[in-house]
Structure 1
């Protein structure tokens, strides 16, 4: 009888130990997401071809939902015309810009989208009164502008936006097109501009920097 009691005691202790070990492992990490966002609108008022000052609200985007959002806080990047804001830092002094209240930042990396596999080695800039973290203007950030008569905004090949989100997670983004429905050869005089299509990879796990 004593032998049986001792046996079941040992068995119970072993079961508790294994259960605690399993608990210590914690939950399984969430899958890294790889998606394409299509026709994200980025309207603006003013600017070319007029001399009126540029204005209008930015379109805010959340990587965690993979969609446009109207939230004042739960957004990561925001688009207006060719300008991209991040939800981190301070106001730039641009008309109608959104309030930054997160810790988002950006780094414009050079390489193929597939070759950018981890965000750990990058130093992230934030928006500030010195300008946007993702530089504006042709050849400075993500795009190239070919003037009239071509009049086309083209993503610069090999430019990848590596991003820290508003809540400290990580993503990478490759802009494919600035025109509605992403035509292979956009016509600057006919195709509707200010619609972003981009590939992105988002890691939803706290403290993880891998992007593959």
Structure 2
């Protein structure tokens, strides 16, 4: 009788352990990289000179997904040394570094023009965590864009901009799938241009540009883009 009770108790314990194990969430994939408050060209101004700023064009900021390193392109010498290669993947350009472009040597007028970069970008109307696979190369070629910035109602940007209050508001649930400069696949969520990644901005003079974004690069060469965050 005692032996029978012990066997039953052992079975109950094993079942309980198995249930606990089943309740543990299964990771969906590798982790994404979050970049917070990346300082861009905070010394430029598009309007009247402000304290600590000067009225001039904004210098482009390039960023490498693999090294997480960035660099402001301040001169022609910088352009020659740092732009014509595949050491960077995206550049933050134009006013307040708000226009994000890929590194592609065939895109005239972009920082990577004339270089060996193979970058491309496709806009996907899905939340970042729901984007699990990169599209075909044919989709990149036929539906790809050079870059994204202000969405004026055409569905091609990453933020809305009001001409009345001059504040940028990020577009929700829009993800950008990329082919990187060296041909890998990645996904990108552009989250904010204001310091501290505030959920709401009401102050025209909130410190900017301080860029917050999230990305994942599939290093095995496949198109799988499922992530755990």
Instruction: Look up the match of 2:89.
Output: 76
CA change 1:125–1:48 in 2 (3 A) is farther
In structure 2, how many angstroms separate the alpha carbons of the residues matched to 1:208 and 1:124? Answer: 15
Question: Does residue 210 in structure 1 map to residue 224 in structure 2?
Answer: yes
Q: Give 1:142 deviation, angstroms.
A: 1.1
Where has structure 1 moved over 4 Å in runs of 4 or more?
44-47
Instruction: Look up the match of 1:90.
Output: 106
Q: 1:66 aligns with which of 56, 65, 68?
A: 68
How many residue pairs get aligned? The number is: 172
Q: Secondary structure at the match of 1:184?
A: coil
Contact in 2 for aligned 1:151/1:188 (Cα 8 Å) = no
Structure 1 runs not aligned, ≥5 long: 1-30, 127-131
Contact in 2 for aligned 1:44/1:55 (Cα 8 Å) = no
Contact in 1 for aligned 2:133/2:224 (Cα 8 Å) = yes
Structure 2 runs not aligned, ≥5 long: 1-28, 49-54, 73-81
In structure 2, how many angstroms separate the alpha carbons of the residues matched to 1:33 and 1:65? Answer: 16
In structure 1, how many angstroms separate the alpha carbons of the residues matched to 2:181 and 2:206? Answer: 33
CA change 1:116–1:176 in 2 (3 A) is same
Q: Give 1:98 deviation, angstroms.
A: 4.5
In structure 2, how many angstroms separate the alpha carbons of the residues matched to 1:57 and 1:90? Answer: 21
Query: 1:100-137: CA deviations, max 9, x gaps?
Result: 421111111111111110103462259xxxxx612443
Q: Secondary structure at the match of 1:114?
A: helix
Query: 1:68-119: CA deviations, max 9, x gaps?
Result: 257432000011221112111435336xx35442111111111111111010
TM-score by length of 1: 0.69
> Counterparts in 2 of 1:110-125, with a 5 A limit?
110-121=125-136, 123-124=139-140
In structure 2, how many angstroms separate the alpha carbons of the residues matched to 1:197 and 1:48? Answer: 21
CA change 1:54–1:118 in 2 (3 A) is farther
In structure 2, how many angstroms separate the alpha carbons of the residues matched to 1:144 and 1:54? Answer: 24
- Pick which of 39-48 and 114-123 moved more: 39-48
Q: Secondary structure at the match of 1:124?
A: helix
Q: Secondary structure at the match of 2:131?
A: coil
Contact in 2 for aligned 1:63/1:202 (Cα 8 Å) = yes
Question: Does residue 55 in structure 1 map to residue 57 in structure 2?
Answer: yes
Q: Secondary structure at the match of 1:36?
A: strand
Q: Secondary structure at the match of 2:196?
A: coil
Contact in 2 for aligned 1:44/1:54 (Cα 8 Å) = no
Q: 2:181 aligns with which of 163, 166, 184?
A: 166
Give me the CA root mean square deviation: 2.9
In structure 1, how many angstroms separate the alpha carbons of the residues matched to 2:41 and 2:112? Answer: 14
